[in-house]
Chain A
Amino acid sequence: MYVAVKGGERAIDNAHAFLAEERRGDPAIAVLTVPQIREQLRLAVNRVMAEGSLYDPDLAALAIKQARGDLIEAVFLIRAYRTTLPRHGFSSPVETAQMHMTRRISATFKDAPGGQILGPTFDYTHRLLDFRLAADGDVPPAPTAPATQGPVPHITGFLNRDGLIETADRDDTPPPDLTREPIELPADRALRLQAITRGDEGFILSLAYSTQRGYGRTHAFVGELRIGMVEVEMDIPELGFAICIGEVELTECETVNQFKGSKTEPPQFTRGYGLTFGQTERKAIAMSLVDRALRWKELGEDFTGAPAQDEEFVLMHADNVQATGFLEHIKLPHYVDFQSELELIRKLRAEAAAASQKEAAE
């Protein structure tokens, strides 16, 4: 049976109605609320906020509901909304040393000022299905401890005192904004970090993993991973000083990377950096590895041809909204092009057949 792709208008309307019905599922089951998603699927919400580049847990939860749990689709919904928002200004750089931490670990020091805080992590859970969760959701309250008061300095700062790690000097150059200017290559580190932090978690994870397996190896340790709330401050021209306009949850990862020195740099530890919205530590760790791998040029390392070292390859393919759009567009009608390919193949086949007939006759 031939089914025409034409007559699209009614088909589209009907498809949308069908989609809405499928989204709702069995009406005998209670409808999922946005606050339920926000509170109980928080890591999904975090991922959508991180890759959607918009910190709004309610909207991210709504997007997840609307996308039927398809997180890339939810990221797309958030991005399409974000791009319509007016810009009122820019915040001051957030001070992650002032973070109210729920989790903070270091793989390089057994203890450090500020302590290690495991926080709400899967790390040491046994991955056994918990059938009690299928029955009810009630849990006893977790033990609490008083929060650490005052700023907690970064662990890489201690290494810095001995000159063992490269310095990371304060740089107040306004960073480029890839949502307002087209990406131009070569990109500086700020632009690369911006692209990676909103890049697809799976893609960044695989690139980071590839560096660990030898494709652009950088020998990373997690110097510090911290997760918590930071205050966002903004200069208000009418006031003449910065005020706190809200809080965001961030995950920050600093890796310490072995470095034997190069033609231009002395032997010392080097840094990779990751910063993401929400509790998204897989992404933040992966980001810091990819950041470090991309820094080969400024550190005078060799380009080994590894994908994670290749800035153009990484930046042009990290965005899952772009990738999924272009990938899936091949299901749109292409019959005009296919028709011209048909003509071409028929012509080439006819010519080849004629040539072999002629050969056989000779």
Chain B
Amino acid sequence: MTDQSYNFAYLDEQTKRMIRRAILKGIAVPGYQVPFASREMPMPYGWGTGGVQVTAACLTPEDRLKVIDQGADDTTNAVSIRKFFQRTAGVATTEATAEATLIQTRHRIPEHPLTEDQILVYQVPIPEPLRFLEPRETETRKMHSLEEYGLMHVKLYEDIARHGSIATSYAYPVKVEGRYVMDPSPIPKFDNPKLGDCPALQLFGAGREQRIYALPPHTQVVSLDFDDHPFQATKAPHDCDLCGASESYLDEVIVDDAGNRMFVCSDTDFCRSRREAGHAGRLTMQEAAE
């Protein structure tokens, strides 16, 4: 069911054009935050208005859309955004990563490798990687233009001095093509290695902060670190209790009042397709045995 009272994918064509210009500029200068005249959307700021606007500007009627939040297709906000585009654009949707042409995500990169026929759109709360070191936008823009990233390295160094390792576990800063330091959105640092040399186009939209940035296909993306403290992509030291995967990012779920836990893939599509292919984890094997 498409809602005919709004333009295709909700935004009017002039607005989409303005957003596409910002996207093109972002692609031309990878990692640079392009200001854009973000619109008020019919969902609140913080719910993914930036990602929704980027998706709206990129969608064509032929697209097949997948929306995930925390890696899952069935979390409430993913459902809500998917429904929004079903209603306003009438596009086909899917939960299968490989079948999607455009994937909007919050906080995860899918486990299944992406291809050059896909666009990955990230929802970004705070696009400025230097924000928590310097609250003023006027200052941070200057720091980016002068490539003055000393403050960030000092922060990482202080982490090591104080805690023995870098105490950032998500939204872990990266350097793009040796130039701009970029916030990869609050993905776990486990996902950082997938940012670099990715065949898909990666677009980042921050609605409230009015910024769009991009990683064109096969861009060099390096997570910040030191030679003697190299970057490490970490996850819970377990296998998925449902599909047995050892290399996927896991959610920890408290399963009873005694505080017992299970670990399951955060990427629901990845987990399901593995189970369908016959893989099993600790709990599925237990169930089968019972």
Contact = CB atoms under 8 A, between A and B. Distances in A.
Contacts of B80: 8, 12
Contacts of A342: 236, 252
A324 B40 CA distance: 13
Interface size class of A (residues with CB under 8 A): 35 or more
Interface string B26-48: 00000000011111111011110
Given A326-B125, A336-B170, A344-B169, A321 B163 contact: no
A8 B12 contact: no
Nearest to A341: B169
A5 B89 CA distance: 27
A340 B257 CA distance: 23
Contact of A348 (B44, B49, B138, B167): B167
A341 B47 CA distance: 22
A24 to B, nearest CB: 22
Nearest to B237: A343
Label chain B's interface by main secondary structure: loop
A51 B274 CA distance: 51
A12 B266 CA distance: 21
A180 B39 CA distance: 8
Interface stretch (A78-86, A201-209, A258-266, A274-282): A78-86
Interface in B86-112: 107-108
Contacts of B46: 325-330, 332
A354 to B, nearest CB: 10
A84 B6 contact: yes
B208 A80 contact: no
A83 B39 contact: yes
Contacts of B138: 185-186, 312
Interface string A76-115: 1001101110100000000000000000000000000000
Contact of A344 (B76, B167, B208, B255): B167
B190 interface: yes
B46 to A, nearest CB: 3
Given A316-B137, A333-B75, A179 B37 contact: yes
A79 B45 CA distance: 12
B44 to A, nearest CB: 4
Contacts of A7: 74
Contacts of A6: 72, 74-75, 268
Interface of B: 6, 12, 35-42, 44-47, 49, 69-72, 74-80, 83, 107-108, 125, 136-138, 163-165, 167, 169-171, 186-190, 208, 210-211, 234-236, 249-257, 266, 268
